[in-house]
Amino acid sequence: MTTKRLYYEDAYTTRFKARIVERVRVERGAAVATAIVLDKSYFYPTSGGQPFDKGAINDVPVLDVTIREADGAVLHWIATGDIWSDDIVADIDWGRRFDHMQQHTGQHILSQAFMRVANAETLSFHLSDETVTIDLETTAVQPEHIEQAEYLANQVVWQNRPVHIRAASAEEAQQLPLRKIPAGRDGRLRLIEIEDFDISACGGTHVGATGEVGLIKIVKLGRAGANLRVEFCCGRRALQDYRQKNSVVNRLTAVLTTSAGEVVDSVTRLQDEVKETRRQIKRQQNSLLQLEANSLLAQGTKKNATTIVSRVYADSESDVSHLRTLASRLTKDGNVVALLGLAGSKCMLIFSRSAAAPGDMNQLIKPSLQMLGSASGGGTAEMAQGGGPAADVERVEQAVARAERLLLGQL
């Protein structure tokens, strides 16, 4: 049975009496979902880009509202098993309904504003709990049109123009300046007219006068295929958006001790400074590393043409990355063998040699790792490494000294 849709005529009633004419039960996995069909309803079902109303029937929450395509019945999906009485009282969540009215009416105004400013037709509209968007023909919209359309739309809000609901036949609609005539629609059309500004065929819920929209603000532009997607917000959503952004700007101006207009320049300057500081640190780390390498080479044990550098660090003065960089710096060229170790909660050995230096690091490291209780580790003749459990500096030095003795014996 078709439900009489009372919201078509009146978007402001939030409490009404009606009669249950059908109960629909659908198995959804293990659960059974129940929908109530009423003889008449103010509940808006999801359609035309606008989501459904929430609320309650006899205090049982309504979770979803849909249309049954076969006969146009409005299905009120309820939270619990059933509502036993056939005569019911229903309540509509006014906060959600009014939000949808503000966004939807705002969309009509903004779509007409884009027509007037850029001759850009709205191809689609989408309203969710988080965002409201319209898709426009990209080719027609220039950057300056965005602010012009936004300003025109807000002027229409400030003029507080009445919003009329009227019905027309398809033939009558042909004579009216409709923004968009729905294709292949027979019978009566429901027209929403924003006085002397816009007429469009629409089944949604709208405010009674444009002033109730409050504010229309475009917040983001994006692409949707070949079209321009305009994200905007109206009324309470615009207030929330302003609150959030105002709070962000206030915190930024406090942290940066600057004015709102200077925030971007200020952050850009900070980013440049950080980049330059990082470059300086890198340069200084390089020269420190070179000094350290030179000092180790000067103190190294020399036999024949080979210099053996052995050094163990506590984990408070070095780390794996420092050890690796130092090893590669020491053995980059010349005839050097570097036997480096790291002591602490985890120990580590890195043995490395110059291409021209003698010795097989992979063979050399194994007895030392064994001394440290490490079962894993190895590498190539030129570079080998391995880690083990906790060991103090003295123990790691003994392991490195053993390798040095073995190597000296081979030279």
Residues within the interface to Zn ion (CB under 5 A): 104, 202, 204
- The DSSP-derived string for 164-191 is EEEEEEHHHHHHS-BS-PPTT--SEEEE
Cβ 248 to Zn ion shortest distance, Å: 32
Minimum separation from the CB atom of position 202 to Zn ion (A): 3
Least distance CB 111 / Zn ion (angstroms): 9
Minimum separation from the CB atom of position 23 to Zn ion (A)? 31
C-beta of 110 vs 293, nearer to Zn ion: 110
Of 101 and 330, which CB lies nearer to Zn ion in the complex structure? 101
- Residues with Cβ within 8 Å of 188's Cβ and at least 6 positions away in sequence, in order, are 167, 168, 169
Find the residue with minimal CB distance to Zn ion: 202
Residue 388: beta bridge partners?
347
Minimum CB separation from Zn ion for residue 213, in Å? 12
- Are β-strands 122-127 and 87-92 bridged in parallel, bridged antiparallel, or unpaired? unpaired
Cβ proximity to Zn ion: between 10 and 147 the closer is 10
Q: Which is nearer to Zn ion, 104 or 217 (CB)?
A: 104
Q: 106 or 377: whose CB is closer to Zn ion?
A: 106
Token representation of residue 376 = 């894993």
In angstroms, what is the minimal distance from the CB of 50 to Zn ion?
7
CA nearest to 228, candidates 160, 142, 311:
142
Q: How many CA atoms lie within 13 A of 104 on its CB side?
A: 28
- Which one, 104 or 311, has the nearer CB to Zn ion? 104
Cα 144 to Cα 122, 229, 296, distances in angstroms: 18, 16, 66
Q: How many CB atoms lie within 10 A of CB 359?
A: 20
The nearest distance, CB 108 to Zn ion, in angstroms, is: 6
- DSSP code string of 246-287: HHHHHHHHHHHTS-GGGHHHHHHHHHHHHHHHHHHHHHHHHH
* Cβ-based nearer residue to Zn ion, 104 or 145: 104
Q: How far apart are CA 377 and CA 386, in angstroms?
A: 4
The contacts of residue 176 (CB under 8 Å, 6+ apart) are 168, 191, 199
Give the largest CA-CA distance in the chain. 107
Shortest Å distance, C-beta 269 to Zn ion: 47
Nearer to Zn ion, 50 or 331 (CB): 50
